[in-house]
Structure formats: structure tokens, C-alpha cells
Structure 1
Amino acid sequence: MTGRAQDGATKPAGPLAGFKVIDLTSVMMGPYATMILGDYGADVIKVESPDGDVMRHAAPMRHPGMGAMYLQGNRNKRSIVLDLKKPSGREALLRLASSADVFVHNVRPAAMARLKLGADDLLAVNPRLVYASLHGFGETGPYAGRPAYDDLIQGLTALPALTGKITGEPRYSPATMADRIVGLNATHAILAALIHRDRTGEGQAIEIPMFETMAQFVLGDHMAGRSFEPPIGPPGYSRLLSPDRRPYQTSDGYICALVYSDKQWNAFFRKIGLENEADRDPRLNSISARTRNYDFVYDWFSKVMKTRSTAEWMKLLEEADIPHAPLHDLDSLIDDPHLAAVGLIQSIEHPTEGALRLAGPAATWSKTPPRIRHHPPRLGEHGEDILREAGFTEDEIARLAAEEALINPAS
């Protein structure tokens, strides 16, 4: 299943070419996971409700139902609209799943049970299926079945509280951090389950809960003294919680820098005229001393950074081989020359939305590179084709349409 570029040149198939994914996800967490599977070459069939993925309707957009967030998270997919509340719509989905490798959803378990689309239902139809459920909370805990969104999970896993310890006010991250981190975890869980299936022939159900996944993510940094029984101190990684760990103000702007190893610190001291250890505060003189006094170190460093311009610091840090970077805003990030050189942001032509710029796959592969093969689909764009490929006759397709179990908005 070799892809073909817009210029007609043949390109290698991705590593998941030949795998079929039934994607019953919406918003961001699930679509992000299935987008990655699509980038890797899987045939991702996005099953949508008659209203479509809610992110289709999030501005900005050129045309209704094609919002920017939807476009950024749904490339390399095909769309079919099935009304799963109608028996024939559910039966059509089961037929699609009977030949699929993966079925993934982020619908609450009670709703899937009402639709009779739980793991047992799907695995009965296809015992080789990897059935992946992306939930807010694990099904064995007291929070099971509760609704969950990125903001709620951030709050539950202490991220706003940690920000509040530094700034004085709890705030959510200005990125869908929980959705995307859980989506990444779902991707590698699905891939591992596929490896198991291909070794043993056994499909299985896997559950990827948002709360537990993000709790593991946060506590990996911040268990600290509570890593031990009994605790030897409070939780919290002091370096990450230092109030002066932030982009540093210079005499005319800001810069990001991290002087970390003894080698880097010694190079920095030489550059600013503090090569003699006796001339420095002893809290700066070893990694052991610095890690016990993060607040002092970051405060001292922030004051030093104010003494020179951004350009001066960029030159000095470059010469000293100390990690540093400019402080981007969104526009300068999008226009970053490195991203342009490596081709991360790719331009594609969409049949209705015109020229689009999408942040494509970041990794490079020598044999089977992920890539953008197909534009983000219009609602129901591929419904009839998907059913024909699954063995539906023209009469069966017409009957589904007449019953409004299959909806093709384009027609």
C-alpha cells in the first residue's frame, strides 16, 4: 500500500500500512492518538455522529464544520457518518470492525454499554481486535464513569496548584497537555497490543485512563520525599518549583538558558569574570551545593542576566557552549528557521479549505517515514467508499442511507 505524493512521485509506505483503525473518538485526546497512527500509515476510519466531531465547530474556520483545531488533529483519516442509535448503523459499525485491527473510542463506558459496543461485543465479532478505551478514570475506582476534560484532569493532577505555588494563582497550562500526553500513551499502548496480537493471535481490551496517566506523569517529577516509606520530606521537586526558574529578563528583553553541569557552570563563571572560586558564594561552587539551594541559585542567576542585553547573552552563551534559546511567541515559533529547514510545518492543498499549514510528524525514519498522506476529511466524505471496501452492496448502502443510519452530508 504505497502512498503517492501530490507531484506523483512514489513514496514508501508507513510502518503501519495495511492496518485498519476504527476511530470512534472526538475532541483532542483520541483524535491525536489516531492521527499518529494515521501518520504511521494506518487506514484510520473516523466514525462520526451526524453532528460530527465537536472540534469541527471550533473557530477559526473558513467554512462551517472545518475548524482549525479539527484540521490540525485529523489528517490521514477518512470520515464516515453513522447513526449508532439506529440498529442498522450499529450493525454497519460491527461489520467494519470485523475486519479491523484496532477499535478506539473515548466515549464513556455506560454509553458504549447502552449501544452494545463494549469490548465484549466487539471482541465477539473479531477476537483479533485491539479494543482501546480512552476514559477519564479507571473503571475499578470510585471516579469511574465521571466526565473528564483536559482542564479537570490538569486540576486533579495538581498542575494548576504547582503553578500557583510559583505565581500565587493556580492556572491551567495554555496547551491541551492532558489530552495530548494521554493520547501519546494511548498510541504506544495500542502499538504494544498489536505486537502482542501479531505474536499470539490474541486481541484484547486496553483502557487508558486520563487521571491515572497524568498522575504518573506529574508524580514522576514530584513524589520527592514521599517516594520513601516513611516519608523523608514533602513532595515536590524544588528545582521545578523555584520562583526564579523562568525565562530570564535581560537588559532589553528575555532569554531562555539553563546552566546545569559543573562544566557549564565553570564556563559561565569564566565568561563573567568569576573564575576564582573564592570570589563566588559557596552555594554556587558545586552541583551538590546548587541542588540544595535552587531558590538562591536561580535568584542569583536572574539578577546577573539583567546586566547585559539579549544579544550579548546569546553570543556569550554560544561561545561557552551553554544551552540557550530565544523566548518565542506563537508567531516566531511558527516562523522558526530550524522548523522551516527540517520541514515540520508542511503546506497541503485541501479540496474545500484551500492551502493549509499543518505541523507534521517530527521523527525522521530511514525506511518507512511517517508523513501526511491525506487531507483532514470533510464530514462523511468517504462513507460510501468505506462501506464498499468492507463488502457492502449498493443496495445495502442505499438502504442504510434511506434509514438515515448512513448520512452523507456532501450529497
Structure 2
Amino acid sequence: MNTSNKGPLSGVRILDLTSVVLGPLATLTLAGLGAEVIKIEAPEGDNARNAGVMKHAGMGHVFLHNNRGKKSVVLDLKRPEGREALLRLAADADVLISNVRAAAMKRLGLDYETLAGINHRLIYVTANGYSSRGPYADLPAYDDLIQGAVGIPWLMQQYGAPEPCYTPITLADRLTGLHVVYAVNAALFARERTGGGQHVEVSMFESVAHFILADHMGARTFEPPQGPAGYDRLLSPHRRPYKTADGYLCVLIYNDKHWRGFFKGIGHAEQFETDPRFSTQQNRSRNIREVYAWVAETMLTRTTAEWQALLDEADIPHQTVRSIDELLDDPHLLATGFIGEEDHPTEGRVRTLGTPTSWSATPTGTVDPAPRLGEHSASVLREAGYTDDEIEHLVALGAARIAGRA
């Protein structure tokens, strides 16, 4: 939870019925902005609890990073007593977010119509694989599958990979999770105007398809098509960190000012005017593969440090190529507090990630470490009106679970 009760979403209560990455990233972000997030977990817990590196079972690194600032409440929603407990919580909630398939939520009696009947101000957000309006609505969806569905492995091969491959990040999950965040905030704003909640659907396929096609629809934008799909600049085999005489360097020579400065810096100021491949943005775009190939060859002629000095003098953007270990020690991220450390009650000293936003009037506060499974079951149920005896009865029935109990 947000222990300092600060941030632009302070006072907003969210029921989080999501698991793995997409939904937890969204609710992590909302918790970082001050919302109270109650994570509803099945008795076996979020699958991500056992993903990645861990010291103790159920507390893997993926879970630790995506679930800070949340309260863990275990409810077996397949049992009527567990369902009833969720309905009690929903009566006072502002938002419910789920990545459970719509058909399953309906079978559980937890569909939007049912919950809106209990709380007309509730914002009910479903993060689905595919829009309910299309023929894929009931298909299962995971990050790898969506990457394939939107053409990312194909693009990787077009870019030079020997065969189709995924990106080494959970791109579809994380991208869609950010769509969930703005959807929640927009729905909260709409509620301020209308007084009522609504059902908001966010789909992975459409979210990532938009992300891909805005770049790579390319010549297929026009009817009739002006050529093949794909954005040639992004697919150029030389659009990568350039090899220097002793390493690699990321460089973006982008506008006319940059190109004039680059040619002047290497002692060929006249080339900008005399070589039509470089003289205008349109010409560079038309000849982008030749342009990038020429830069790649030129970059081999000096050391990384020599290029950095030249590029600084010409005010041309550049950046070093870092490893993950180097990123963790980045002086800027350490200075801003984005990378920090905390003492976790069970996992000891751990590195943490902050929020990338800052707020002048509603600054965010600190958030608690990721919870143990069922750590907050008793306290949250008490707040919902359950007595200690009633809570014990739920536990005895298997409808709830409290951390530390077998």
C-alpha cells in the first residue's frame, strides 16, 4: 500500500483480480500514484510468484517488482463464501480490474452487470487478449502469442534475425498494462462528470497492433498500396549501435543541423550540399539504407571517446551501449531515486524501482514491499465488516487464507 497516503490517486480503492504481468504492472503503477490496491489472489496465488529468481518459494523477482504497494487477500471465488466476500469489498471500491476471461467472470457471478447492481459507481475494467467485438474474443492470450499475432517475430527476421524471434521483454503485457492505467484514470475522470461507473475493455491484440502498425503499415497506408508494409528506416540492417574502432556507440544524426555538423566534424563540410543522398530529409528517407551503411562504415574510423567528443561539439545525440548491470549503477537513476533499496520482511535487502513521474502539487509517497500470499486477508476483511469469528469460518471453509498458516 501507499503508506504515506500521498499522490494524485490517494483515496481511490482498487480491487485487483489480475495476475502475471499485464494487470499487475497496471495496478503497480496506480499504487505508485497513491491508489489503495487490494490484490485478490486464488489460494494458490498469482502464478508470477514462482517466476524468475527467488530466495523463497512464492516470492520470485518478477512478483516482487510488479506487486509493491499492494495488499494481498486470498479468496476462493469458486466458493460462494469467497464470492460473497468479494461482493462486500466491491460495494465500497472505486475500480475493479480483471484479466480473467469474461465467460469465467460471468460463471462466477462477477460480471459487470452483477457488480454494477451492487455499486453503480464502480469502474469495471477487463484486460482481455482480444476485443469482445471480434471472432478472436474467446482465444487465450499470452505475451508470446500476441507478439506473434501482431507480426513482431516477422519484423525481427526482416531486421536481420536468422529466424523469427520474440523481443526479450514482455512487451505486449507491459504495453497493454499502460493502456489499462490511462483507461482507469479516464474512467475516474468521466465518473466525476456523470456520477456513474462503466465497463471498460482493454485488449492486448488491439493495443499492440496499434503500436506496430502506426510505424509499419508503411506503404500499405494508401489505397492502392504504394509498396510493401514496413518502415524502411526501422528495418535498415545498419540501424543498430555503430561499431567504432574500440567498441559501440548509439548515434542519431537526424535533422539537417545534425548532418551539417557531422560532415563538418569529419572534415567534409561540402558533402552535405554535394551528395544528394544527405541534402534533405526526404532524400535521406528515400536512401536510408545507404545512409545508415555509410555512417556505419565511417564510425569504424575513430574510437568511441573520439566520436563522443566530436558529436558533443556538433550537438549530435549519442549514448553508450550499456549492460543491465551498468544500468543498475546509472548515476542519473540513482540520483533521482528511481533505483533504490528496501528491506523486505521476508526477502531481506532488495533493489526497487520507482515511478517515472513526479508531481508538483500531489507528490507520490513511498509504497510497501510486495506482500506475502494472504498477508492482508484478515485486516481487509475486518474493514469490510467481518468479525474475527467470521474470518476464521471463511478460512476453515477454504474460502480465504491468511499468510503463515498451513
Q: CA deviation at 1:336?
A: 1.2
Correspondent of 1:155 among 142, 145, 148: 148
Q: Show the counterpart of 1:255.
A: 249
CA contact (8 A) 2:338 2:356 kept: yes
How high is the TM-score relative to the length of structure 1?
Answer: 0.95
Q: CA deviation at 1:346?
A: 1.5
Write the distance in 2 (CA, Å) between the matches of 1:182 and 1:260. Answer: 30
Deviation string 1:343-368 (CA, Å, 9 cap, x unpaired) is 11021111111111111101121122
Correspondent of 1:23 among 16, 39, 49: 16
Deviation string 1:153-200 (CA, Å, 9 cap, x unpaired) is 011111111110011422111111110000000110111011111211
Q: Show the counterpart of 2:402.
A: 408
2:56 is equivalent to residue 75 of structure 1: no
CA contact (8 A) 2:3 2:366 kept: no
Write the distance in 2 (CA, Å) between the matches of 1:399 and 1:156. Answer: 46
Q: CA deviation at 1:402?
A: 1.7
Q: CA deviation at 1:234?
A: 2.2
With over 3 angstroms needed to count, the CA separation of the structure-2 counterparts of 1:246 and 1:85, relative to structure 1, is: same
2:111 is equivalent to residue 139 of structure 1: no
Deviation string 1:56-85 (CA, Å, 9 cap, x unpaired) is 111311111100000010011000100111
Correspondent of 1:301 among 295, 300, 317: 295
Write the distance in 1 (CA, Å) between the matches of 2:173 and 2:311. Answer: 35
Q: Show the counterpart of 1:61.
A: 54
Matching of residues 93-104 of structure 1 within 5 Å: 93-104=86-97
CA contact (8 A) 1:361 1:371 kept: no
Correspondent of 1:89 among 82, 87, 105: 82
Q: CA deviation at 1:369?
A: 2.3
Tell me the SS of whatever aligns to 2:294.
Answer: helix
2:40 is equivalent to residue 47 of structure 1: yes
Write the distance in 2 (CA, Å) between the matches of 1:274 and 1:2. Answer: 57
With over 3 angstroms needed to count, the CA separation of the structure-2 counterparts of 1:280 and 1:273, relative to structure 1, is: farther
CA contact (8 A) 1:21 1:100 kept: yes
Write the distance in 1 (CA, Å) between the matches of 2:316 and 2:356. Answer: 25
Structure 1, gaps ≥5 residues long: 5-11
Worse overlay, 42-51 or 116-125: 116-125
Matching of residues 157-196 of structure 1 within 5 Å: 157-167=150-160, 168-196=162-190
Write the distance in 1 (CA, Å) between the matches of 2:18 and 2:223. Answer: 41
Q: Show the counterpart of 1:231.
A: 225
Give, as a single letter, the amino acid of the residue that structure 2 aligns with 1:266. Answer: R
Correspondent of 1:106 among 94, 99, 122: 99
2:27 is equivalent to residue 34 of structure 1: yes
Tell me the SS of whatever aligns to 1:45.
Answer: strand
Write the distance in 2 (CA, Å) between the matches of 1:156 and 1:177. Answer: 13
Tell me the SS of whatever aligns to 1:36.
Answer: helix
2:372 is equivalent to residue 378 of structure 1: yes
Deviation string 1:361-385 (CA, Å, 9 cap, x unpaired) is 0112112223432111110000010
With over 3 angstroms needed to count, the CA separation of the structure-2 counterparts of 1:204 and 1:320, relative to structure 1, is: same
2:379 is equivalent to residue 392 of structure 1: no
2:351 is equivalent to residue 357 of structure 1: yes
CA contact (8 A) 1:132 1:207 kept: yes
Please report the RMSD computed on the Cα atoms of aligned residues, expressed in angstroms. 1.5
Write the distance in 1 (CA, Å) between the matches of 2:227 and 2:273. Answer: 33
CA contact (8 A) 2:217 2:230 kept: yes
Write the distance in 1 (CA, Å) between the matches of 2:25 and 2:285. Answer: 37
Worse overlay, 397-406 or 30-39: 397-406
Write the distance in 2 (CA, Å) between the matches of 1:81 and 1:108. Answer: 19
Q: Show the counterpart of 1:267.
A: 261
Q: CA deviation at 1:101?
A: 0.3
Write the distance in 1 (CA, Å) between the matches of 2:272 and 2:141. Answer: 55
Aligned pair count reads: 404
CA contact (8 A) 1:274 1:280 kept: no
Worse overlay, 90-99 or 232-241: 232-241
Give, as a single letter, the amino acid of the residue that structure 2 aligns with 1:249. Answer: K
Give, as a single letter, the amino acid of the residue that structure 1 aligns with 2:145. Answer: L
Give, as a single letter, the amino acid of the residue that structure 2 aligns with 1:83. Answer: D
Q: CA deviation at 1:280?
A: 5.2
Write the distance in 2 (CA, Å) between the matches of 1:371 and 1:272. Answer: 49
How high is the TM-score relative to the length of structure 2?
Answer: 0.97
Quick one: percent identity of the two aligned structures?
Answer: 52
Tell me the SS of whatever aligns to 2:120.
Answer: coil
Q: CA deviation at 1:399?
A: 1.7
Write the distance in 2 (CA, Å) between the matches of 1:278 and 1:185. Answer: 42
Tell me the SS of whatever aligns to 2:296.
Answer: helix
Q: Show the counterpart of 2:121.
A: 128
Tell me the SS of whatever aligns to 1:208.
Answer: strand
Write the distance in 1 (CA, Å) between the matches of 2:391 and 2:47. Answer: 26
Correspondent of 2:311 among 317, 321, 329: 317
Tell me the SS of whatever aligns to 2:277.
Answer: helix
Write the distance in 2 (CA, Å) between the matches of 1:230 and 1:372. Answer: 54
Structure 2, gaps ≥5 residues long: none
Q: CA deviation at 1:238?
A: 1.1
Write the distance in 2 (CA, Å) between the matches of 1:181 and 1:125. Answer: 32
Give, as a single letter, the amino acid of the residue that structure 2 aligns with 1:43. Answer: E
Give, as a single letter, the amino acid of the residue that structure 1 aligns with 2:135. Answer: P
